[in-house]
Amino acid sequence: MKNSWSAWRYLWKSEDIRRMLLITLLLLVIYRLAANVPVPGIDPAALEALRATLANQGGNFFGILDLLSGGTVSRFSLLSMGVYPYITAQIIIQLLVPIIPALQKRMEDNPTEGRKEMERWTYYLTVPMAALSAIGQINIFNSFSPGQPILDFGFSGAQILPSLTALLAMMAGTMFAIWLGELISEYGIRGQGLSLIIFAGIVAQMPSNLYAILLDDQNRWFMLALMVVVIVLTVFAIVYVQQGQRNVPVMYPGRRVGNRMSMPVKASLPLKVNMAGMIPLIFASAILQFPAILASYFATDPTASYYQFARGVQTTFGGDSATYWITYFVMVVVLTFFYTDVLFTQQNYGDNLKRVGAQIPGVNRGAPTQRYLTRVQRRITLPGALFLGLVAILPFILNLLLQGLGMGQSAGATNIFLVSSSGLLIVVGVVRETFSTIEAELKLHGYQDSILVR
């Protein structure tokens, strides 16, 4: 305990680390202030009327959109899309590398230049992704408020200029959030910029969600106790699974020292249970939002023959139905396996071990080693994939249990995690990575006994 307290005191004692933390805090404050700036041209009265009726008109869907944005979606903020268009573009580029031989060859020939080119193409792809996401969000809001549109959006006549202004403002908000994240990575906590931007958006919802639980006079204390138990157990499970790994034994050849040959060195290759991290959850959520976004284009005219069908699609894929959650679970599991396979193939352990003369006992070098490791990785990915799927649908399961107890309509039922289970998974991961980064900085500054993350 004494060493841990000394390590915390040293965070402020070191001038470089103090500056790094203060810059990070300042940029996060700027991000949260900008998150309250509304999109130009919106109708505040229509927005308030829509927010008042969300419980009866797809409230869960807006809750999903609002989940990782810190409330910016429900306020129709400039930053309502956050950095997610960039993350989506990053995932797409990563998935294209093994598919396009030219990209894969460039990464293998010159990894440094290849990464720079991938980053450049990610920025290029972020712009159209942000535009599509902005148009989708505007149409979704208007489809849920057909009598009084939130924003008069269209590309004909007098609508062109206000629509372009709103669209460009939302795209600029996304690029501004990405820029703040890069500033944090460069001048603040290194390498954690975008993660901390997402983290700030998630934890910003905690006070309001806790307040909603406290307002529930009938079930307040039961919900508070249940909240503590559920959060503690979920955090414990997240840390336990995230830390899980399989150590595959590897024999490295001995080295010649003078006239002597040293003995072979026995080591291990750690394979993580959850190698994909949060990417499957984010990607599955984005894919499942697409039908609702597409349906929003056809749910603007109540007199049209396809209006009811479009609203039905919105309801089915809006987080209000069991179909959505079952599909969400399946997609998270499938995408976990798929994304893990892509990452594992890119790392090419078989050739890398063969290049240094290492060998797994009983397995031939090269392609047989890669096939063996792929089988092992897929086998240990199964519990990790099922765990991610369970985390994704945990709010739905908990809500069913509360409905069985007659509290499904309680305010605390929708705020029991304070940030949702998926958001909690991100929070725990970002906190651990941030503490690991700070611990590394402490050691670089001569403090060798830091135990911040132990």
My answer on whether 364 and 226 are in the same domain is: yes
Q: Is 21 within 8 Å of 11 (Cβ atoms)? A: yes
What's the pLDDT at 144?
67
What's the pLDDT at 419?
64
What's the pLDDT at 85?
87
- Give the pLDDT mean for 257-281: 77
Give the integer Cα–Cα distance in Å for 416 and 435.
26
Asked if residue 161 belongs to a domain, the reply is yes
Answer left, alpha or beta for residue 264, where phi above 0 means left and psi between -120 and 50 means alpha: beta
My answer on whether 164 and 250 are in the same domain is: no
CATH number at residue 15: 1.10.3370.10
376 burial class (0-12, 13-18, 19+ CB within 10 angstroms)? middle
Range in 161-170, 208-217, 432-441 the model is least confident about: 208-217
- Give whichever of 9-13, 346-350, 444-448 has the largest mean pLDDT: 346-350
Q: How far is CA 199 from the centre of its chain?
A: 9
Q: Measured between alpha carbons, how far is residue 374 from residues 234, 248, 280 in Å? A: 29, 12, 19
My answer on whether 335 and 434 are in the same domain is: no
My answer on whether 101 and 4 are in the same domain is: yes
My answer on whether 249 and 373 are in the same domain is: yes
Q: Is 83 within 8 Å of 181 (Cβ atoms)? A: yes
Residue that is written with structure tokens 């004692």 in the block: 13
Asked if residue 5 belongs to a domain, the reply is yes
My answer on whether 373 and 393 are in the same domain is: yes
Asked if residue 286 belongs to a domain, the reply is yes
Q: Is residue 415 very low, low, confident or very high in pLDDT (cuts 50, 70, 90)?
A: low
71 burial class (0-12, 13-18, 19+ CB within 10 angstroms)? middle
Residue 338 domain boundaries:
215-419
Percent over 90 (pLDDT), the chain: 6
My answer on whether 48 and 79 are in the same domain is: yes
The answer, yes or no, to whether residue 334 has pLDDT greater than 80, is yes
What's the pLDDT at 134?
85
My answer on whether 372 and 430 are in the same domain is: no
What's the pLDDT at 52?
67
Q: Is 327 within 8 Å of 287 (Cβ atoms)? A: no
The answer, yes or no, to whether residue 356 has pLDDT greater than 50, is yes
Give the integer Cα–Cα distance in Å for 72 and 40.
14
Asked if residue 209 belongs to a domain, the reply is no
What's the pLDDT at 9?
65
Asked if residue 87 belongs to a domain, the reply is yes
Q: Which residues contact 124 (CB under 8 A, 6 or more apart)?
A: none
Q: Is residue 221 very low, low, confident or very high in pLDDT (cuts 50, 70, 90)?
A: confident
Q: Record the tokens describing residue 335, joined without a space.
A: 């995408």
Q: Which residue has the higher pLDDT, 394 or 263?
A: 394
The answer, yes or no, to whether residue 63 has pLDDT greater than 70, is no
- Mean pLDDT in the chain? 77
My answer on whether 314 and 431 are in the same domain is: no
Q: What are 114-138's pLDDT values in tens digits?
A: 788 888 888 999 999 888 888 877 8
My answer on whether 342 and 435 are in the same domain is: no
Q: How many domains does the chain have?
A: 2
Q: Is residue 421 very low, low, confident or very high in pLDDT (cuts 50, 70, 90)?
A: low
Give the integer Cα–Cα distance in Å for 454 and 443.
14
Q: Is 410 within 8 Å of 223 (Cβ atoms)? A: yes
Q: Which residue has the higher pLDDT, 4 or 218?
A: 218
DSSP code of 411?
G
My answer on whether 94 and 145 are in the same domain is: yes
- In angstroms, the first-to-last Cα distance of the chain is 11
What's the pLDDT at 58?
43
Q: Which residue has the higher pLDDT, 291 or 144?
A: 291
The answer, yes or no, to whether residue 61 has pLDDT greater than 60, is no
Range in 71-75, 99-103, 397-401 the model is least confident about: 71-75
Q: Is residue 284 very low, low, confident or very high in pLDDT (cuts 50, 70, 90)?
A: confident
- Give the pLDDT mean for 20-47: 86
DSSP code of 149?
-
My answer on whether 11 and 46 are in the same domain is: yes
Q: Is 81 within 8 Å of 198 (Cβ atoms)? A: no
* Four-CA torsion 128, 196, 223, 315, nearest 10 degrees: 10
Asked if residue 210 belongs to a domain, the reply is no
Q: What are 152-195's pLDDT values in tens digits?
A: 777 777 778 888 888 899 999 999 999 999 999 888 888 788 88
What's the pLDDT at 7?
56
Q: Is residue 454 very low, low, confident or very high in pLDDT (cuts 50, 70, 90)?
A: very low
What's the pLDDT at 179?
92
Asked if residue 111 belongs to a domain, the reply is yes
Asked if residue 181 belongs to a domain, the reply is yes
The answer, yes or no, to whether residue 216 has pLDDT greater than 90, is no
